[in-house]
Amino acid sequence: MLKTTLAGLRAHKLRLLLTGLAITLGVGFIAGTFVLTDTMDRGVAKTFAKSADRVDVAVVPKAGNDPDKGLPVGLLAKVRSVPGVTEAQGRVVGDTALLDKDGKAVGDMPTVGMSVPSGRLFRYEMENGRTPSGPGEVVLEKDLAEREGFRTGDTVTVLNAKDRPHRFTVVGIVDFGIDQEAGYRGAVGYDPATALTMTGAKTFAGIDVAGGTVAAVRDALGPGDREVMTGEELGARLAKANGADTKIIKTGLLIFGFVAMLVSALVIYNTFSILIAQRMREMALLRCVGATRRQVFGGVLVEAAVVGLVGSLLGLLVGMGLGWGALAGINAAGMDLPLDGVALAPRTIVVGLVVGVVVTVVSALLPARAATRVAPIAALRTDLEPGDGRFRLGWVRTLLTVVLGGAGLAAGAYGAIGMEKGEVAMYLVAASGAVFFLSVIVVMPALVRPLGRTAGALPARIGGVPARLAVANAQRAPRRTATTTIALTIGVGLMSLFAVVAASGKESSTQQLAKQFPVDFQIQPQFNAQEKDRHLPPALTRALRQRPEFAAVIEQREKETRAGGRETTVATLTGTAFGTLVKPDFTSGSAAGLKPGAAVVDGVTAKAMGLRAGSTVRLQTARGALPVTVAGVFKADDAPITGFLLTEADFDRGYTVRGASTVYVKARDGVPAVSARKAMDEAIRPFPTARAASAAEIREQITKSVDMLLMIFGGLLGLAIVIALFGIANTLTLSVVERTRESALLRALGLTRRQLRRMLSVEALVMAVIGAVTGVVLGVAFGWAAVQAMSENSVFALPFGQIAGFIVLAALAGMLAAVLPARRAARTSIVESLAHD
């Protein structure tokens, strides 16, 4: 039986080609994910190990401690006095803002200021120049220097921790590749003494030691909140910390790999179902000559295992190509990841082969079981043809449809409108979508006929007899058509869901922006992680109010404090801005109640502290407790304020903050947008760390971010759609073989080759439209539920253009998938086909 199975595979290689391609693509995606992340991990680990080779002993803060708590500066002298230590340097890390050539601070966050020692303990890669050796010299991170146009020998201005400018000469360009934060924000490197002065750091981030031993250094320092380790251990720790990001990448990509494998499983199941139906006589003959049911069952599974193995081996090769291509694309985009060849780990090979073979064999189980039920004599006597389109659900399918569909709808509705908005509700909606989709799989064969009639109505009307025959063919084998279209439904459904969520996200952001940003410009200081209470100088507000282009300039001042035993924020707005320009919706009370002795609070804070209108709370101030009455609770997302909002008089009575955390500017009516922007830039030019953004710029940035995410998701889900289209092509190819005599008879009755090709193209079109429309309906429905589950302020938006585009593209792709099967059918000889058995 094994020899017979293998001989059958050799004799019919082409009929399993597309099945092998489906599993190849699925395994290739999974293997490519592992290759990508493993190669990144190995490159990063090698880079860190190479860097750590220059350090014999490292002293670092104890793991789990407050990351802002470093090592006392006094430890450095103790380490240097340890016998055997030839050199020791404290690593200084802080914030120092580099100014660009226009005098503005670079980036939304200050560039990292760090110490760059000379000699053996220099742990980075020097691109050109040398390390800094005095108070007037710096080196720049290579990407930062390239982006801002600085070169060795240039003079740059850097702000110290107190925002005071200092001039330096650039003496070198450095690759800080092993420091993620430096790569993200850009970095300015100083000699160790200057780094302490510029950053204002009071502690070291670590101490690197050349010479000496771990035991000697540990004994000299004694017990404390620090760890002493070798350079190798330091390299391993840094590499592990850096690799956390690849775990997230790997998890996300494997989810899409799972979707691809699910679609592949449907294609494989459908392929083997058709093959078993076409080979009934062959199997009946085997039964007649002595093959048992177990042998027939085993033969089909062996065939599936061989196809799965071959497809998986090819998938590993494809995965290596995909992983390398992704890495090349990432580096081409400017990420500059450290690479050390393609990493094909044994785990990747095992997972790829196991997943590919198991998915293929499991998908073939039901068709193999059907093969064992062949009645030898009946099969030898019957001229097997596809079904006639009649399909009854039966009580089992009906029960499953009702239970799964009802559970999915109920859970989705509860997650969307019945429970508190947030992450848990979204997970419930996602789970309900998966359950409801199972009910669609169960009931889909019963829907094929009505859906096919609807999808084929227009083609049948304008396409003549070939199109009407095509619509009938699509309806003739409901199970086959259902399985084929479900594969496409998955991909299009997920694409539609993401499109709805993206469009709704943009619309929600636009509406929230109008509430939280009810002005033309917003000015904030460059964010500084080392200084939580960072403010704009009052002189900036005065300069803005002197400009005739602006009608209103509103300051928002903030201070972190405590209230009711909790950390919170208190804020105030200039004059009557709250209630006029900033107009949030109140769940209780109103803006009119904001008077001296009262406060309004956002809903999240109110819920966490158990407050409502009329409650009294004591705010902690430098002058003691400040009791205020809650005059109202407003929706958290409706205003650019969190925590408590006080009147200016109460805020000034309790807090000494005079600089604004944010300044809102409204242009005067009739002032052109270009003129207003020019006036804004002129007003903030003397204040390097002040950053102004217009509502239009923020809206454009949100739109670009959402579109980028949608494009990424679309590209990843595109693999599932490609596999589904292989399924359509596979189904049609096998169907052409199955209907050889039928096609020949149609040709003999006058159907031309062109009309035969048109018939198969329309059949593919109908199947693609059924799958696409079903996917769109499911995607839009559960997209709506996901939007409702996100937050109270989410707004549902339906991207009609994108949804229509998905259906049209699926239809065109389906017709494209029919090209090769149609050409094969049209080229077959009529006489030979009529004699086909």
The string of pLDDT tens digits covering residues 249-297 is 777 777 878 888 888 888 787 777 777 766 666 776 677 767 777 877 7
116: its two tokens: 């760059």
Distance separating the N- and C-terminal Cα atoms of the chain: 23
In the structure, what pLDDT confidence band is assigned to residue 529 with cuts at 50, 70 and 90?
Answer: very low
Which sign, positive or negative, has the C-alpha torsion 279, 280, 281, 283? Answer: positive
Which sign, positive or negative, has the C-alpha torsion 167, 172, 177, 183? Answer: positive
pLDDT of residue 503: 87
Which tens digit of pLDDT belongs to each residue from 480-527? Answer: 788 888 888 888 888 898 889 888 888 887 777 776 667 888 888 886
Among 157-166, 674-683, 764-773, 789-798, the range scoring the smallest mean pLDDT is 789-798
Q: What angle do CA 171, 176, 182 make, to 5 degrees?
A: 105
pLDDT of residue 633: 92
13: its two tokens: 């290689």
pLDDT of residue 339: 59
40: its two tokens: 């990144």
Which residue is it, tokens 């240039």? 154
> Is pLDDT of 9 > 70?
no
Which tens digit of pLDDT belongs to each residue from 333-385? Answer: 555 555 566 777 888 888 888 888 888 888 888 877 876 776 666 555 545 44
pLDDT of residue 10: 58
pLDDT of residue 778: 93
In the structure, what pLDDT confidence band is assigned to residue 172 with cuts at 50, 70 and 90?
Answer: very high
* H or E stretch at 295: helix 293-332
668: its two tokens: 């005067």
Range among 138-147, 261-270, 377-386, 464-473 with highest mean pLDDT value? 138-147
> Is pLDDT of 574 > 90?
no
> Is pLDDT of 565 > 60?
yes
Average pLDDT, the chain: 82
Average of per-residue pLDDT across 573-601: 86
pLDDT of residue 190: 94
Q: What angle do CA 371, 373, 379 make, to 5 degrees?
A: 85
* Furthest CA-CA distance within the chain: 103
Question: Are the beta carbons of 360 and 23 closer than 8 angstroms?
Answer: yes
How far, in whole angstroms, is CA 386 from its chain's centroid? 43
In the structure, what pLDDT confidence band is assigned to residue 68 with cuts at 50, 70 and 90?
Answer: low
> Is pLDDT of 653 > 70?
yes
**DSSP-derived secondary structure for 60-101:** EEPTTS-TT--EETTHHHHHHTSTTEEEEEEE-EEE-EEB-T
For 678-700, b/e burial (b = at least 16 CB within 10 A) is ebbeebbeebbbbbbebbeebbe
**DSSP-derived secondary structure for 598-653:** EEEEEHHHHHHHT--TT-EEEEEETTEEEEEEEEEEE-GGGSS--SEEE-HHHHHH
Which tens digit of pLDDT belongs to each residue from 703-762? Answer: 777 777 777 777 777 777 887 777 777 777 777 766 777 777 888 888 888 888 888 888
351: its two tokens: 């997972």
Distance CA 301, CA 399 (A): 30
Distance CA 143, CA 740 (A): 64
Average of per-residue pLDDT across 630-643: 84
Distance CA 634, CA 125 (A): 53
Backbone angles phi, psi at 614, to 5 degrees: 100, -15
Question: Are the beta carbons of 44 and 338 closer than 8 angstroms?
Answer: yes
Backbone angles phi, psi at 206, to 5 degrees: 175, 170
Per 3-state DSSP, the chain is made up of helix, strand and coil in percentages (nearest 5) of 60, 15, 25
Residue ranges per domain, the chain?
Answer: 1-50+244-384, 51-243, 537-686
408: its two tokens: 């999915």
Residue 322: name the closest of 284, 297, 348, 300 by CA.
Answer: 348
**DSSP-derived secondary structure for 784-837:** HHHHHHH-TT------HHHHHHHHHHHHHHHHHHTHHHHHHHHHS-HHHHHT--
In the structure, what pLDDT confidence band is assigned to residue 15 with cuts at 50, 70 and 90?
Answer: low
For 755-767, b/e burial (b = at least 16 CB within 10 A) is bbbbbbbbbbbbb
Spell out the alpha helix ranges (H) of 333-422.
346-363, 365-371, 376-381, 394-413
